[in-house]
Amino acid sequence: MWQWLQPVIDSLFVGPLWPASVLLLLVISYLAISLITSIDFDGPDIDLDANAWQSLGATTLRWLHLDTIPIVIWAGIFACVNWLLAYILWNSFDSLRYEPTLTTSALLAARNGVLAGLVTRYATTPMVPYLAKGLAYDDESLVGQTAIISSGEATPQFGQAKYDTGGAPLLLNIRTDGPHVIKGTTVRIVAFEPTKRTYTVTPISASETDVISNET
């Protein structure tokens, strides 16, 4: 039996195909453990915490629907698509042109990941209206609501906050009305700037532990 399985295993863990196979096995294992132990299927909360990169990261997450589609559903589709692309491309194209060296495999795996991300993005688009509760909230309805600062710091020039929708939180680009506010502070949304797509917020609590300074 092992003699029959060995060629199959070798074909699944070669070149750029082995990272895709490992990822697919991890996702399947997570699903199996979740079914057995009833782990929350929403998956881990994604929180980028680097001021300069956070806006780009949040935009990328929104574009890929990672802010609305449950992470386990997105990861499951991505893992399947990534594996299929890696298998098809390696066996029909890549293996004829490249040796399965570490560098080549890493580059091809990165290419497959980008392609799989694009396919997953468009494959999950029809799911957004059904899974994204946040879409029920428009810009005007958020004014007057409260949110939590999610960036390391929020200032009059930069910041991001999470608005709790009861499902996937909305990640908002914000500016404060003066104070520099630290992560985790509860703020109230007081205005929306449609041209910049940003919200103006003010801290509900003005304690010294929440507000760093009152610079304008």
The neighbour count for residue 204, using CB atoms within 10 Å, is 11
6-60 pLDDT, tens digit per residue, is: 676 767 788 889 999 999 999 888 878 877 764 444 444 444 444 444 455 566 7
| Section 143-163 average pLDDT | 90
Query: Which single residue is written with the structure tokens 């991300």?
Result: 117
Q: How far is 216 from 214, CA to CA, in rounded Å? A: 6
**Residues 134, 162 contacting (CB under 8 angstroms):** no
Q: How far is 187 from 142, CA to CA, in rounded Å? A: 12
CATH fit for domain 134-213, picks 3.40.50.300, 1.10.1740.10, 3.30.365.10, 2.40.50.140: 2.40.50.140
Q: Which amino acid is at 21?
A: S
- Domain spans of the chain, in order of start: 2-131, 134-213
How do 170-176 and 198-203 pair as beta strands?
parallel
188 exposed, middle or buried (CB, 10 Å; 0-12, 13-18, 19+)?
middle
Q: Taking the model in full, what pTM does it have? A: 0.54
pLDDT tier, 171 (very low <50, low <70, confident <90, very high otherwise): confident
133-152 pLDDT, tens digit per residue, is: 544 455 667 888 899 999 88
The b/e string for 29-46 (b: 16+ C-beta within 10 A; e otherwise) is: ebeeeeeeeeeeeebeee
